[in-house]
């Protein structure tokens, strides 16, 4: 059974709310239709009229399949609604459900593009926040589960985590009062932790090779770019110790003091306090 997307009742309630909402339909379909009619000699009154009730019934039928996680059956129905009822509000809702189905089937790149297209052509639709949230979710779901235990060793493999952070940041910036902020923030924190762990891994590699400048730069990068990762205290402690090895005692003292002031309840703060107590002797002995 898939999917993190449908594992909670909250997700079902969210989708139910989406299906009940109404919104004006200003779409590419309308632009194309008007453009075609402008050059036509056929009266628009001759075109068949499709009732809103038809569109609603078709959408509800497709939604029943969707809630049963039968996207093989639901997806074609949503696409038919979009094609055959383009001026109905259910066309827009069907576009969102197509993206949801793509995520359920782990077609992450396709789903992300579907939600981006929705935003591009329907920028004033009330479900744009949902589409932006699902873009972030699409990136997040591409992060392999084992990365939460150990970071990848190669920089190029980190793109799903970076894109998750970027997408969540965009979502929070544009929709700070959205009800999905907490879930989005949790996704961002997990992605930030992966990125921070990678910097710690690389820094440790350089430190073991006695390339202390390079090791310190990676830790400094972590502290400047991955705030909220939960790895800040560890990075400050290691940075202070590396500065100590480099005999940059003032920088070491500063790192330890920032750690104690900012993360005073952490185990790293206790270790930093011990480092500070022995630091004056080393400073006095330096040539």
pLDDT at 20: 44
Q: How much helix, strand and coil, in percent to the nearest 5, is found in the chain? A: 75, 0, 25
Two tokens, residue 259: 């750690």
Burial annotation 25-59 (CB, 10 A radius, 16+ → b, else e): bebebeeeeeeeeeeeeeeeeeeeeeeeeebbebb
Tell me which of 147 and 77 has the higher pLDDT: 77
Residues 229-250: what's their mean pLDDT?
97
Residue 283: pLDDT over 50: yes
Phi-psi region of 24 (alpha: psi -120 to 50; beta: other; left: phi over 0): beta
Fold for the domain defined by 1-22+51-128: 1.25.40
Band of residue 25 on the pLDDT scale cut at 50, 70, 90: very low
The pTM for the full model equals 0.77
pLDDT at 271: 97
Average pLDDT, the chain: 84
Convert the pLDDT of each residue in 136-173 to its tens digit. 999 999 998 876 666 555 566 899 999 999 999 999 99
How many other β-carbons are positioned within 10 Å of the β-carbon of residue 198? 23
Exposed / middle / buried, residue 155 (Cβ in 10 Å: 0-12, 13-18, 19+): exposed
Residue 164 · residue 188 · CB < 8 Å: yes
- Residue 75: what pLDDT? 97
Angle between helices 52-67 and 71-84 (to 10 degrees): 160
Which pLDDT band holds residue 177 (cuts at 50, 70, 90)?
very high
**CB-based contact 66:6 (threshold 8 Å):** no
N-term to C-term CA, the chain: 67
Cα-flanking dihedrals φ and ψ of residue 92, to 5°?
-65, -45
Alpha-carbon span 23 to 249, nearest angstrom: 62
> Which of 43-57, 88-102, 205-219 is least confident?
43-57
Cα separation, 81 vs 96, whole angstroms:
12
Residue 51 has pLDDT above 80, yes or no: no
Distance CA 283, CA 244 (A): 10
| Domain edges within the chain | 1-22+51-128, 231-287
């Amino acid at each position: 059974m898939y999917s993190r997307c449908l594992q909670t009742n909250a997700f079902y309630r969210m989708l139910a709310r989406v299906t009940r909402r109404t919104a004006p339909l200003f779409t590419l379909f309308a632009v194309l239709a008007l453009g075609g009619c402008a050059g036509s000699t056929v009266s628009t009154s001759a075109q068949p009229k499709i009732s809103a009730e038809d569109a609603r019934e078709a959408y509800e039928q497709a939604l029943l399949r969707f809630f049963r996680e039968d996207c093989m059956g639901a997806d074609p129905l949503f696409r038919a609604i979009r094609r055959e009822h383009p001026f109905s509000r259910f066309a827009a809702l069907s576009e969102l459900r197509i993206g949801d189905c793509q995520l359920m089937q782990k077609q992450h790149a396709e789903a992300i593009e579907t939600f981006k297209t929705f935003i591009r052509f329907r920028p004033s639709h009330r479900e744009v926040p949902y589409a932006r949230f699902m873009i972030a979710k699409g990136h997040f779901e591409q992060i392999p589960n084992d990365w939460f235990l150990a970071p990848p060793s190669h920089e190029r493999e980190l793109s799903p985590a970076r894109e998750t952070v970027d997408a969540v940041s965009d979502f929070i910036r544009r929709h700070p009062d959205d009800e999905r902020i907490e879930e989005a923030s949790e996704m961002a924190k997990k992605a930030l932790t992966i990125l921070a762990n990678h910097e710690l891994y690389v820094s440790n590699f350089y430190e073991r090779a006695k390339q202390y400048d390079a090791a310190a730069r990676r830790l400094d990068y972590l502290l400047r770019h991955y705030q909220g990762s939960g790895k800040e205290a560890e990075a400050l402690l290691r940075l202070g110790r590396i500065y100590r090895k480099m005999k940059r005692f003032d920088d070491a003292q500063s790192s330890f003091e920032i750690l104690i002031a900012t993360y005073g309840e952490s185990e790293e703060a206790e270790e930093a306090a011990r480092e500070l107590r022995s630091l004056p002797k080393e400073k006095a002995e330096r040539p």
